[in-house]
Amino acid sequence: MKKKQLGSQGLEVGQMGLGCMGMSEFYGQIDEVEATKTIHRALELGVTLFDTADVYGYDEEGMGANERLVGKALQGVRENITIATKFGAQRNEVKFLGYNGSPQYVKEACEASLKRLGTDYIDLYYLHRVDPNTPIEETVGAMARLVEEGKIRYVGLSEVTSEQLRIAHAVHPISAVQTEYSLWSREPELDVLQTCRELTIGFVPYSPLGRGFLTGHLTSRDQLTQEDWRYHNPRFSEEAFAANQKIVEGIKALALEKECTPAQLALAWVLAQGEGMVPIPGTKRVHYVEQNVAALDVSLTTEDIAYLATLAPIGGTTGNRY
């Protein structure tokens, strides 16, 4: 797999990463054996960027179940990979508690993640969401001190505005911004994506397959169990589900022509949006990580890209993201 630069501070990763969140929570039944096999298969395919967060998964040891799983699965290959994790969102077993970006918490959260991941350093450390009660310059200042201490190597931000990004970048260079981005979530094109390009900051789209919707596998809301968080998501309501199928039908039609899957086509569109773009499609199954990586071989023409952009314009998706 070819490598790409994220930012201008020296971070280099494979051109497609792996989102690990669903391996521990949110998308139905958990199978840690299959999840571990998926991580190992991703390694074989050349994936080097593995994305997790301290808030993903809660088990008998508390918060951070996904970090524990990812850390265990990646033992023995530490020097060849990039571990990205996030902090700032707090929870207990049953509910979300809020955001914390205070300098003291930055240090505490990092130490806890290092222990769960079983590593001496985190390659890419993201602020998961901006704490409304802590100026972002204070949070990033504390992250910069972690860089000085060797606890983290590169600083990232998730779901920030252009203004927040500029403020943060003036405190310490930001290597990557992680935001939801796909054919049904194109809002980053309005501001933050342009700012990333201007400042040479890498862009890491999460949910590039629209939380599975753009794969074409979901044809009825009845396929979702009530334990699957999408069941309660506005974009997966009865009305929105039906309205958004038109996007999927268009993707399916072009995918048939290109002799690829709808998922591969949707990923190829994201990859075509810029050099500093490294999507992290999430999966917990070997078959899908193989399929996703194969999207790197899908070639789109200028006409294909324009057609897909017209099929799914900015704001053309029914239902809010959250």
> E strand or H helix at 136, and its extent?
helix 136-149
What number is the average pLDDT over the span 162-185?
97
For residue 15, what pLDDT band results from cuts at 50, 70 and 90? very high
Catalytic residue among 27, 56, 105, 206: 56
Q: Which residue, 250, 117, 270, is CA-closest to 208? A: 270
Token pair recorded at residue 136: 């972002």
pLDDT of residue 228: 72
Is residue 322 annotated as part of the catalytic site, yes or no? no
How are strands ordered across the β-sheet holding 122-127?
18-19, 49-51, 82-87, 122-127, 152-158, 176-180, 202-206
What number is the average pLDDT over the span 42-65?
94
Residues 6 or more apart from 32 whose CB is under 8 A from it? 23, 69
pLDDT of residue 2: 95
62-76, 119-133, 204-218, 261-275: least confidently modelled range: 204-218
Has residue 11 got a pLDDT over 90? yes
Has residue 229 got a pLDDT over 70? no
Token pair recorded at residue 74: 């990646």
- How far is Cα 211 from Cα 230, in angstroms, rounded to an integer? 8
pLDDT of residue 41: 98
Q: What is the mean pLDDT of the chain?
A: 93
What number is the average pLDDT over the span 55-59?
90
List, in order of start, the domains of the chain with CATH numbers: 3-208+273-296 (3.20.20.100)
Rg (CA), the chain: 19
Residues 6 or more apart from 193 whose CB is under 8 A from it? 181, 203, 273, 274
Token pair recorded at residue 12: 């280099």
What number is the average pLDDT over the span 90-98?
83
pLDDT of residue 91: 85
Has residue 28 got a pLDDT over 90? no
- How far is Cα 209 from Cα 266, in angstroms, rounded to an integer? 6
Has residue 280 got a pLDDT over 70? yes
Q: What is the DSSP letter of 277?
A: B
Share of the chain above pLDDT 90, in %: 76
Higher pLDDT, 28 or 173: 173
Full-model pTM: 0.93
Sign, CA dihedral 241-247-248-253, equals positive
- How far is Cα 106 from Cα 87, in angstroms, rounded to an integer? 8
For residue 197, what pLDDT band results from cuts at 50, 70 and 90? very high
Query: pLDDT digits over 119-155, tens only?
Result: 999 999 999 999 999 999 999 999 999 999 999 999 9
169-183, 199-213, 222-236: least confidently modelled range: 222-236
Q: Are 76 and 69 in contact (CB under 8 A)?
A: no
Q: Are strands 82-87 and 49-51 parallel, antiparallel or unpaired?
A: parallel
Q: 96: buried, middle or exposed (CB in 10 Å: 19+, 13-18, 0-12)? A: exposed
Residues 6 or more apart from 228 whose CB is under 8 A from it? 26, 27, 28
Q: 203 phi and psi, to 5 degrees?
A: -125, 125
